[in-house]
Amino acid sequence: MTTTATGDAVADAVSRLRPMGLDEVLAAAELQTRVDRKYVVPLDVFSTVLDQLRDDLHVLQIGTLRTFRYESVYFDTPDLSAYRQHAHGRRRRVKVRTRAYLDSGECLLEFKSVGARGETRKERHPYPFASRNELDAAARALAEGSVGASISPAGLQPVITTTYRRCTLVDPAHGSRTTCDVELHFRDPDGREIGPVDGLVVVESKTLGGGSPVDQELRRTGVRPLSLSKYCVGMALIDPTLPANRWNRELRAHFGWVPDRGPGHVPQVG
């Protein structure tokens, strides 16, 4: 995984926060059912927000590590039903993925769903690390029970792999958690690749409802939440022919995205 200047800067910034172990993080803010708010934040703004909240935040530390390598493989149907749920703003949306923790060699099968009121629910199951690029019969049965009403598990196949580095910030007083992702890289099964994206931090706050201090500080600096996921960003960048009007402004502003309206287009990240 390529290291970028942004990744180094974020690692340096969180090195000055108080550490918190994984068990403590889960006790303070597990939040498997929660409200997510997502932001694309320039590095200088991220550093300012962290400076303002340094006394209130802890950072997840496991062993000596405070930033961790993640890999997510997203599964969708041949007609990209899950992607189109998001692209067309359906009130009920799902994602199916495996998430691998590359530093520890652990892996989970995850089902994410967004309900009619915007709440996010995540269901997680242990999964073999070596099988993370495919769904076995047991995984499809779990998918049928979890998201089968919204998508056809029988047709699920890998469509894109994302890798990135993540640090996790916790505000114990408010029971909120914030993830900060850098060095996004996208790859599809045909070998097309985009990234790593430099200069940006993808920030996601996770709360039981109301905004956290991180949300409030981002708003104070003029950063607003976006309805945009790494899955959708990656799919739109890798294949600019896909419908992405819902995120047109954000993709253009932050990722240099240009829709493909003809043959011979080569996607780029600005």
Give residue-wise pLDDT tens across range 95-137: 999 999 999 999 999 998 876 666 678 899 999 999 999 999 9
In a domain, 231, yes or no: yes
In a domain, 60, yes or no: yes
Cα separation, 120 vs 166, whole angstroms: 20
How many domains is the chain partitioned into structurally?
Answer: 1
Cα separation, 55 vs 17, whole angstroms: 8
Predicted confidence (pLDDT) per residue in 167-199, tens digit: 999 998 888 899 999 999 999 999 999 999 999
In a domain, 267, yes or no: no
Residue 162: which of 219, 237, 224 has the closest Cα?
A: 237
In a domain, 269, yes or no: no
Residue 267: which of 188, 187, 185, 194 has the closest Cα?
A: 194
In a domain, 263, yes or no: no
Cα separation, 168 vs 177, whole angstroms: 7
In a domain, 260, yes or no: no
- Please answer whether residues 159 and 96 qualify as being in contact, where contact means their C-beta atoms are separated by less than 8 angstroms: no
In a domain, 259, yes or no: no
Q: What range defines the domain where residue 126 resides?
A: 5-254
Predicted confidence (pLDDT) per residue in 195-251, tens digit: 999 999 999 998 877 778 999 999 999 999 988 889 999 999 999 999 998 888 899
Whether pTM > 0.85 for this model: the answer is: yes
